Structure 1
Amino acid sequence: MMRKETKRTVGILLCAFLLCFSGCAAKEAKLPSPGVELPGQDRLIADFYTDKSAYQPGDEVRFTLELKNETQEEFKGKIEFAWYDLTQKTELPALEAQVDAGGEKTLEFSWTPPEEDYRGYLVTALARTGKETVDRRNTAVDVSSDWSRYPRYGYLCEFGDLGEEEIEAVVSRLSRYHINGLQFYDWQDEHDKPLAGTREEPAEKWQDIAKRDVYAKTVSGYIEALHARNMMAANYNLMFGAYEDYEEKGAKKEWGLYQDEHHEVQDNHPLPNWESSLYLMDPSNPEWQDYLLSREADVFAVYDFDVFHVDTLGYRGYVYDYEGEEVELSTSYGGFLQQAGERLGKRILLNPVNGYGAMDAAQSCADFLYEEVWPGSYPEYAHLKQVADTNYDLSQNQKACVIAAYLNYEVAEGEFNANAVKLADAVLFASGAGHLELGDTGMLSSEYFPNRKLAVSEELARDLRDYYDFFTAYETVLRHPEDRREWNGSLSGYQLGKDGEPGEVWMFGSENERFCTVQLINLLSRTDAGWRDDGNTCEDPLLVRDTELSLEVGEITVKQVALASPDIAGGTPYPLEYSLENGILKIQIPYLAYWDMIMIEK
């Protein structure tokens, strides 16, 4: 949690930004010094969101603006709307609004974005009386014909006896973060027989491996609700896991993975007092492939899942097939995935835990590259970027990347550390990687998704809305790793580095035909480089104010320089003062909390 003084300072600066920006044309706006506070800030516009998570080119976007007047006086004015394509602003028609003190009102309007595919947009709402800005809120729009280009992946893990309203509440909340696909974690009956019942007579209720009740109507209800918002539903299962009684269901020991060359000890994943531990099969064995994929076909015949999400368990040491031949698991995944894609006719994802098997995933039919980072691996901020960069490199920048990384892993109770969460998301998003973290239970703190040991505060939930709006709105510059570039420069009064070390501002970025981007991640107050924050001690950021970034840019022309940040006015872009001489671009940076993105238009 941020200290009150820090939070107030941020609020004052944002308000000053808004006062200036709303009263000037974009090209004329200047960033003032902080010092003017809006008394009604965040006390009129309660929420602003879209009706779906993503849109096909040509689709109409429907917006909802919820007003709740807590300013102690009547609001009578206009709500002014605009949309941004990166730094380009276009105004939309305003709406008249009148809300009594303490009153509430809901406004709706629609907009059809440009038909260009794979574009993100920021949409802003300003509440104004005359020339005075009373409040603001932003949202984002993703126009993409296929989710795999810019995946924002979440999870579901509780499938009890839920009604339609409960399901809709979960999906509506996640849609406001623009999540466009959800993994149905441990929803199945048994790993080696995922469908409860038969195709002809599917069961209405069963228990998952942890003996938790699962209802068919809840699974189907979630899938239907996701599809209504252009979200993908992913059927999760382990590639090679079978229950202890697998022989009774037709599987064979000859298909197993063993810890010895004489098939005396089958490799297994022990589980605590659940329905069964998991006994591992050889994923390259054609008979096992046929066995499991036939049963997954039963699942897809009953439930309208879009994706088969295939899980693994990382490096298992030396393992052998029944004949005593060593099995290299990391190179055995590709054949399984190929068979899955061909036989099921569905989208495919693979989780090569800690990168074990990532090459097979990159060369497979997988929609994008997903990797779960388990505790003890890749512990530092720089490692998160390394995982993202490596995944992009493996696919020759053809597949997007999503990383499952769990914050505050060792913390037993309480709330997530907001500083740690925002810094980790800043690193991942700035590196072009999605973060599997949000779902029906809130946020993940461990690899067992139903774990509810930590809560998300209202303040963090609101801040993350800004982060996901930002990640969506600026996807066309954030998620193109082929444009990666390393910058050289200095930051007046502060340590500027390239390696994600504590005590510095970390700089990296990109360059394409139109824009250079410079990502600035604030690690100045960090005393260690550990992103997980197992001690729940991640400090408030040391706020950077009124500094100058000197950047070596070589022989380029510069049309304008703009600042955008999820920490500043919901990601609204603002022009910056700059000078360019002898290949050195000097940019005036007014403010840095967690993450700033500098966009240099050429």
Structure 2
Amino acid sequence: MKKRNITLTIGAVVLASVLVLSYFLFINKTETVNSEVAVATNKGELILDVTTDKAMYDPGDKIELKVSFKNQLKQDLKNGKMEIKIKHLEKQVGSTIEKEISIDSNKTTVVTEQLEMPDTDFKGYLIEVDVKNNEKKLVDSATVGVDVSSSWTKFPRYGYVWDFRKGVDTTSRIEKLKDYHINALEYYDWKYRHHMPVGENTEVWDDWSGRAIYGETIRNYIADAKDVNMVNMAYNMIYAATNGYEEDGVKQEWALYHAEGDSVGKHFKFQMSDSTPTGITHLYFFDPSNKEWQEYIFEQTNKVFEVFDFDGWHGDTVGEWGKMKTHDGEIVYVKDTYTEFLNAAKEAIGDKYLSFNPVGAQGIENANKSDVDVLYVEIWPWDSDSEGLKYDSYYSLKKEIDKSREESGGKSLVVKAYMSYDYGEQHPGMFFNTSAVLLADAAVYAAGGSRLELGDNGSMLSNEYYPAENLFMKQELKDRIATYYDFIVAYENLLRDGQENTDNRIEFPDYANSGVAVPNKIWAYGKQDSEYEIIQMINLLGVSSDDWRANEGKKETPKKITDFEVKYYYTNEINSVWLASPDRNDGRTQELSFTKGSDENGDYIQITVPSLEYWNMIYMK
């Protein structure tokens, strides 16, 4: 398991193992295919961490690999050898790089290596680092993911920043997010006012709540992020203004009003606070389809790009609140305005990126078919999709990721879903439940989506007001999240690169399973692309609820199982079977033996899987 910025616990060296599968019982015909597997994993006896100098690389870039060591082997390492391999899925790319290394006991050192990567665009890799002693025995090992992509929009890994006080060490904060491979940042509440994001003073200003915002800090964040190949997105709502908007040129006749029968009711607004130092307490909403409002807000947004080197606009909403009316009495549902507004916005901001949040996934279909560069949604468990399925379960997350991919022509949905929301508000300063976070992440990643969850100074999001920071990650969760992000980078071409769901039959002879995330069962379903058939396998054994939110801060740890059988009815002839998991062997691919057979349900393979903790991915060629 990879660690970030800590000293690792000492563990035993993992020995090579051979998995030989037995013949099946009760089958009509069988054929056995064997494979021999060498397994290595990082135990921290020598390697503290492996990092790269950027979050993402353009094709043809060189990678600076940094390996941090501390010798805790209780003896000197003399005339050892460091071996570096670049893997794309099950294949090694290029030759093994070898470098002699000697480290005295309890001493630390850092070794850097320049790596030439393939120039193929939109590919994920796992770099494996093995250290052997002078007897050629493996003493420690670690991995890191690498994304070679010319744009962040194919494999978005969104993070956030919110702290724009004077003197913030932006470099170290960006460094932390870079090591999670975050390739785009949402700058939350950086602006002067919602309807006027850039005010007269661009060096220091108060945001709506009275927080002091420093332009130099924002510029430093942007510069540091660009240095490590991260995109910077300026957050702002698409249709909101704050108190005093009329003095700044916003016209009342652009407003949205509550519909009260046949009449125009009160101005649609939200109270944000009882009182603030700025006197701003409310958000007032305007008709996104109003051409004059569009012209106004697009002009204000383009002023942002004149003053700050942001790469795009992250548009936000407060969701769908039912039938509204314009100043002239025309009926408006905000969600129905999204496609036209977003297409006009994209045209207005030119070559800048556009992302957008249809809160609660209400009207998400209209955002999905628009010209946004990246799909994004803030999920709340009480909202429902068009078929009435509430967004409160693991399966509901997968279903929306699938639907958004289809509606958008293949884009990967970024999901923002606040873990243990009420628990965090009631117990500020406490910790996230590790199992809850990992299961929710696995549900999203396995389906082909990604998460907005990591941000400012390495924190994890639990509230829609980002500065709240109610809950924190324990060290175990930090370590595991780091490995999960390496994993989704290394296997991005199996997770969200054109894979489609299949209905291939999957059986677990000794355990209950389901294709729709049922408590106390293994959640398993099939996918495929032009080269691979894939089983996504998430462990809900011993987990009593399928809710992703864990609102009370509780979630059972799944029952880990070992050496269990999986029976998979394949579409195409299977020649090799591979296992990859963020929960074992630092995400390395491991070849598995399998047996072929057929019965009344068709042709199948049967595999013995070494273990399942939270999430396994089996891919078959």
TM-score, normalised to structure 1's length?
A: 0.92
In 2: Cα distance, 1:92 partner to 1:366 partner? 41
Is 1:524 paired with 2:571?
no
Question: Following the alignment from structure 1 to structure 2, what is the Cα–Cα distance between the partners of residues 126 and 570?
Answer: 12
Residue identity matched to 1:226 = A
| Aligned position for 1:479 | 496
Question: Which secondary structure does the structure 1 equivalent of 2:110 belong to?
Answer: strand
Partners in 1 of 2:167 and 2:502 — Cα distance?
A: 48
Contact 1:29 1:574 in 2 (8 A): no
Equivalent position of 2:164 in the other structure: 159
In the alignment, structure 1 residue 390 sits paired with structure 2 residue 403? yes
1:429: Cα distance to partner? 0.6
Take 1:517 and 1:430, find their aligned partners in 2: how far apart are those partners? 10
1:63 aligns with 2:65: yes
Say if 2:11 and 2:45, in contact at 8 Å, map to a contact too.
Answer: no
Shift of 1:482: 4.5
- The superposition leaves residues 139-161 of structure 1 with CA deviations (integer Å, 9 ceiling, x where unpaired) of 01111111101111111111111
What is aligned with 2:268? 267
Q: Could you tell me which of 166, 178, 183 is aligned with 1:180? A: 183
Deviates more, 1:271-280 or 1:381-390: 271-280
Tell me the CA shift for residue 56 of structure 1: 1.0
Return the alpha-carbon distance in structure 2 between the equivalents of residues 87 and 146 of structure 1.
Answer: 25
1:431 aligns with 2:433: no
Query: SS of 1:455's equivalent?
Result: coil
The amino acid of 2:37's aligned partner reads: K
Q: Give 1:375 shift.
A: 4.3
In the alignment, the residues of structure 1 paired with residue 555 and residue 175 of structure 2 have an alpha-carbon distance, to the nearest angstrom, of 31
Quote how far apart the aligned CAs of 1:418 are. Answer: 0.9
Match of 2:246 in 1: 247
Letter of the 2:422 partner, please give it: E
Cα shift readout 1:512-543 (whole Å, capped 9, x = no counterpart) = 22111101100001111111111222122201
Q: Secondary structure at the match of 1:499?
A: coil
CA distance in 1, matches of 2:553, 2:249: 48
Q: Which amino acid aligns with 2:66?
A: T
Asked if residue 170 in structure 1 is aligned to residue 173 in structure 2, the reply is yes
Q: Which residue of 1 aligns with 2:193?
A: 190
Answering whether residue 375 of structure 2 is matched by residue 349 of structure 1, we say no
**Secondary structure in 1 aligned to 2:401?**
helix
| Structure-2 separation of matches of 1:218 and 1:43 | 39
Partner of 2:151: 146
CA contact (8 A) 2:35 2:592 kept: no
Q: For the Cα contact (< 8 Å) 1:262–1:322, is it kept in 2?
A: no
Q: Secondary structure at the match of 2:257?
A: coil
Q: 1:127 aligns with which of 115, 128, 131?
A: 131
Partner of 2:518: 501
Alpha-carbon deviation of 1:262?
4.4
Once the two structures are TM-superposed, the CA of residue 568 in structure 1 deviates from its matched residue by 0.7
Query: CA offset at residue 31 of structure 1?
Result: 6.9
- Give the distance between the partners of 1:19 and 1:78, measured in 2 at CA: 18
Letter in 2 for 1:172: E
Contact 1:122 1:572 in 2 (8 A): yes
* Paired residue type of 1:598: I
- Do residues 96 (structure 1) and 100 (structure 2) align? yes
Q: C-alpha offsets along residues 216-236 of structure 1, whole Å, 9 cap, x if unaligned? A: 001111111111111100011
- Tell me, in whole angstroms, the C-alpha distance in 1 between the residues paired with 2:282 and 2:74: 59
Deviation at 1:89, TM superposition (A): 2.2
Instruction: Report the CA distance between 1:446 and its aligned residue.
Output: 1.5
Given that 1:47 and 1:137 are in contact with CA atoms closer than 8 Å, whether structure 2 keeps it comes out as: yes
TM-score normalised according to structure 2 size: 0.89
1:400 to partner: Cα distance: 2.1
Measured in 2, the distance between the counterparts of 1:482 and 1:537 equals 33
Which residue is 1:454 aligned to? 471
* Equivalent residue, structure 2, for 1:5: none
Please say if residues 355 and 373 of structure 2, whose CA atoms lie closer than 8 Å, have aligned partners that are also in contact: yes
Is 1:333–2:334 an aligned residue pair?
A: no
Q: 1:128-178 CA deviation, whole Å, 9 max, x = no partner?
A: 213322221110111111110111111111111134xx1111111111111
Once the 2 structures are TM-superposed, how far is the Cα of residue 208 of structure 1 from its aligned partner?
1.6
Which blocks of at least 5 consecutive residues in structure 1 are unaligned? 1-7, 22-26
- Aligned residue pairs total 572
Corresponding residue for 2:412?
Answer: 400
Structure 2: how far apart are the matches of 1:186 and 1:394? 30
Question: Does structure 2 conserve the Cα–Cα contact (< 8 Å) formed by 1:83 and 1:122?
Answer: yes
Is the partner of 2:605 in helix, strand or coil?
Answer: strand
Kept in 2, the 8 Å contact 1:432–1:481? The answer is: no
* Counterpart selection for 1:445 from 462, 466, 470: 462
Alignment partners' CA distance in 1, 2:254 and 2:155: 37
Task: Give the alignment's Cα RMSD to 1 decimal.
Answer: 2.0
**Take 1:505 and 1:19, find their aligned partners in 2: how far apart are those partners?**
28
Secondary structure of the equivalent of 1:269?
Answer: strand
Instruction: Pick which of 588-597 and 82-91 moved more.
Output: 82-91
Q: Tell which deviates more after alignment, 590-599 or 341-350.
A: 341-350
Paired position in structure 2 for 1:114: 118
Partner of residue 291, structure 2: 286
Q: Is the 8 A contact 2:509 2:565 kept in 1?
A: yes
Name the SS of the counterpart of 1:259 in structure 2. Answer: strand
Deviates more, 1:95-104 or 1:559-568: 95-104
Give the letter for the 1:268 counterpart: K
Give the conservation status (yes or no) of the 8 Å contact 1:19–1:133.
no
Whole-angstrom CA distance in 1 between matches of 2:60 and 2:267: 54
Indicate whether 1:30 and 2:47 are aligned.
no
- Percent identical across equivalent pairs? 33
Map Cα deviations across residues 312-336 of structure 1 (whole Å, 9 max, x no partner): 1111122110011110211212222
Contact 2:561 2:612 in 1 (8 A): yes
Amino acid at match of 1:189: Y
Q: Compute the displacement of 1:396 (Å).
A: 3.0
Secondary structure, in 3 states, of the residue corresponding to 1:135? strand
Is the contact made by 2:234 and 2:312 (CA closer than 8 Å) also made in structure 1? yes
Q: Which residue identity lines up with residue 452 of structure 1 in the other structure?
A: E
Asked whether the equivalents of residues 125 and 136 of structure 1 are also in contact (C-alpha less than 8 Å), the reply is yes
Opposite residue 195 of structure 2, the aligned amino acid is: D
Distance change >3 Å, CA 149–CA 470, structure 1 → 2: same
Distance in 2 of aligned mates of 1:244 and 1:106: 54
Q: Report the Cα distance in structure 2 between the residues aligned to 1:540 and 1:216, rounded to whole angstroms.
A: 44
Any idea what the Cα deviations from partners look like across 1:287-343, whole Å, max 9, x if unmatched? 111111111111110101111111011111221100111102112122222222122
Code of the aligned partner of 1:142: D
Alignment of 1:580 onto 2:565: no
Structure 2 CA distance, aligned partners of 1:364 and 1:502?
A: 36
Q: CA deviation at 1:73?
A: 2.3
Mapped partners of 2:554, 2:332: distance in 1: 43
Does the 8 Å CA contact 1:374/1:447 hold for their aligned counterparts? no
Q: Is 1:510 the counterpart of 2:510 in the alignment?
A: no
| TM-superposition CA deviations, 1:11-63 (whole Å, max 9, x none) | 77xx53x5449xxxxx953378xxxx99x921321110111011111111111
CA distance in 2, matches of 1:410, 1:376: 14
Whether 1:79 aligns to 2:79 is no
Map of 2:26 onto structure 1: none
Q: Counterpart amino acid of 2:74?
A: Q
Alignment-mate amino acid for residue 342 of structure 2:
L
User: Is contact 1:262-1:323 (8 Å) kept?
Assistant: no
